[in-house]
Amino acid sequence: MQEGRPIAYFSEKLSEAALNYPTYDKELYALVRVLETWQHYLWPKEFVIHTNHESLKYLKGQHKLNKRHARWVEFIETFPYVIQYKQGKENVVADALSRRYALLSTLDAKLLGFEHIKNLYADDHEFCEEYRACEKIPYGKFFRHDGFLFRENKLCVPNCSPRELLVQESHGGGLMGHFGVAKTLAILQEHFYWPHVKRDVERICGRCITWRQAKSRVQPNGLYTPLPIPSELWIDISMDFVLGLPRTKHGRDSIFVVVDRFSKMAHFIPCHKTDDASHVADLFFREIVRLHGMPRTIASDRDAKFLSYFWKTLWCKLGTKLLFSTTCHPQTDGQTEVMI
């Protein structure tokens, strides 16, 4: 305060640890945080601290301090301060900022066009009981202010009032981006309340052509998971094809690449682009299994040969697990891609 006018405002959410402090510690911690924030203003000359916590009056007279209090008091004593106690009922400025039912957003009824809903509460079957009950004092989570009914600082919107308009504005009005049900509901519930609001949001969002066209038709993919780390030679392998090569005199125009994921050793086996799964399996047994034995896992992309019924059935019978890469994500089998 300067010349009776506030010049700055400071607020901070308590951490989980600070929430467990006793009341005195919370009040002292708040004082420390304020001094840390405004210390460049407060050091030059003496200032007055107004508090409604009476115990802080005796801060300078304490003789036994725990480690936390000692650390805080040591910092506070670097300032030229005077603490003045102010009873809670007289501390109206702090009450206006901290008390539950006094923290009200400014509501310009004429600007927002809500003036007429004051007359709807008394006959509304959803809010009439609460409206009458909190005429003079709060009723549960409900209270009245300037003729309007609030629930936990959210304006109660009666039936036969602009509910649909509020949902539409929260969904696609102004700078809104035709959000989905969850985000529209979160925006709306930040300021307004009425029963079954989610049902109204789902109904109105369902009618939005823009949102329905942009909404994904498939579920989002799960998290990418890496391939298991190999532990032995030629137990975990990967394979792929190199296509589109010039045809050799023997008619081969592709290369079947098999890589050991542990040693990085690779085999490059000539083949034909038209070879089906049975021919590829024959090449694999003749060139790989003959030299290194049966693998435990085979990592590959989603080539039609590797997705065929014959290929899957063959390796299922032999006890080898097939690991397929994510669609349009060649990095899964990046080791083989690098070899290619």
- pLDDT tens column, 177-219: 788 888 899 988 888 999 999 999 999 888 888 877 777 666 6
pLDDT value of residue 87: 76
pLDDT of residue 105: 46
Tokens 């607020």, located at residue: 11
Tokens at residue 284, please? 């694999």
Mark out the alpha helices in 99-142 (DSSP H runs).
109-112, 128-133
Long-range contact pairs involving 278-284 (C-beta distance under 8 Å, separation at least 24): 278/310, 280/256, 280/305, 280/311, 281/310, 281/311, 281/314, 283/256, 284/239, 284/256, 284/258
Please, what is the angle between helix 277-284 and helix 309-318, to 10°?
Answer: 30
Query: Which residues does residue 143 pair with via DSSP β-bridges, in sequence order?
Result: 150
Amino acid 24: pLDDT: 87
Q: What is the mean pLDDT of residues 315-325?
A: 90
- Checking if the pLDDT of 94 tops 60, the result is no
Q: What's residue 122's pLDDT?
A: 86
Question: What element of type H or E holds 61?
Answer: none
pLDDT computed for residue 93 by the predictor: 54
Phi, psi dihedral angles at 48 (to 5 degrees): -110, 135
- The Cα–Cα gap between 112 and 162 comes to 11
Where in the chain are all domains bearing CATH 3.30.420.10? Answer: 236-338
User: Residue 160 — pLDDT band, cuts 50, 70, 90?
Assistant: confident
Where in the sequence of the chain do the CATH 1.10.340.70 domains occur? Answer: 94-214
At 2-58, the pLDDT tens digits run 666 667 778 888 888 888 888 888 989 989 998 888 888 788 788 888 888 888 878
CB 255 within 8 A of CB 270: yes
User: Mean pLDDT, the chain, as a whole number?
Assistant: 83
Question: What is the rounded CA–CA span in Å between residue 268 and residue 239?
Answer: 10
* pLDDT of res. 110: 42
Of 317, 333, 260, nearest in space to 292 by CA = 260
Say what percent of the chain tops pLDDT 90: 25
Say what the pLDDT of residue 221 is.
Answer: 64
| HSE-CB for 272 with a 13 A CA cutoff | 10
- Tell me the C-alpha distance between 154 and 97, whole Å: 17
CATH number of 94-214: 1.10.340.70
Range name among 43-57, 102-116, 220-234, 305-319 with the lowest pLDDT average: 102-116
Is residue 197 within 8 A of residue 189, CB to CB? The reply is yes
DSSP 3-state of 237: strand
Calpha distance 33→12 (Å, rounded): 9
Assigned CATH topology for domain 236-338 = Nucleotidyltransferase; domain 5 (3.30.420)
Taking residues 226-230, report their average pLDDT: 85
